[in-house]
Amino acid sequence: MLERLGNILGYQPSALSSPFLARLFSVSRKRGTKPKSETLEDYNARRRLRYSNDAAYREAGLARVKAWQAQNPEKAKLSSRVSKSTSYKQNPVFRQNQLAMRLRAYHEVYKKDPLVMLRRSLRQWIERQHDFMSALPWKTHSPEMPEAPIERLCQSCHRKRHGGARLWWHRLGSDDQYDCHSCYVQDANASMPEGYEGIRTWKDLVARKQEFDALDQSNKSKP
């Protein structure tokens, strides 16, 4: 359950908890500071303890990390993804902490934000009932969800999703213009199909569709 929530929310660890920052902080220090009589394990443990208790030491390290990131943005992104992936797969303690943080964020932040919850619901509905959702009267975009992730340029944030994304919103009337899911769902009513404003649950969505279908059938049967 924790891992599923984490995948849904796409939660990212804070700057202080990132293993990437910890690794950069390590390499940013001058070489040759480890005493020859000290093992690498003891040396790292001593540094972690000082990092936790010495605010000045911690701030100086973070400043060096930020400076390096600003000078090497592409390397920083790549290194961060590799570091997080490796830590998540190989470190059960790190993995459990990340899942716990995601669950806490879900209950404390996301569950209280109606726009975030709608964004999550729309993704799930389209993923599970794509044909049903595609047939609804969308106003400005239509949802597209191919089987494999596709890397596209979002026309709103002008960013590409690394590794691609499965859900893209195709701008109606355009040949090849898309918006990512986060950019598309910025307004709760505007992002819903025509006549479906205010709908927040799958049950209500299906009921509204049945109402419209019955109304259309009634209008067609009139002489």
Residue 24 has pLDDT above 60, yes or no: no
Beta bridge partners of 180: 168
Kindly state the tokens that stand for 210. Answer: 């049945």
Query: Average pLDDT of 76-86?
Result: 62
pTM of the model: 0.53
Please report which confidence band the pLDDT of residue 217 belongs to, taking 50, 70 and 90 as the band edges.
confident
**Which helix (H) or strand (E) element contains residue 151?**
none
Residue 10 has pLDDT above 50, yes or no: no
Please report the beta strands in 39-183, taking only residues with DSSP state E, as ranges in sequence order: 141-144, 168-171, 178-180
Given a contact cutoff of 8 angstroms between Cβ atoms, the answer to whether 171 and 179 are in contact is: yes
Query: Average pLDDT of 56-71?
Result: 84
pLDDT at 7: 46
* CA dist., res. 159 & res. 103, Å (int): 27
Residue 192 has pLDDT above 60, yes or no: yes
For the chain, which residues make up each domain, given as ranges?
2-110, 117-221
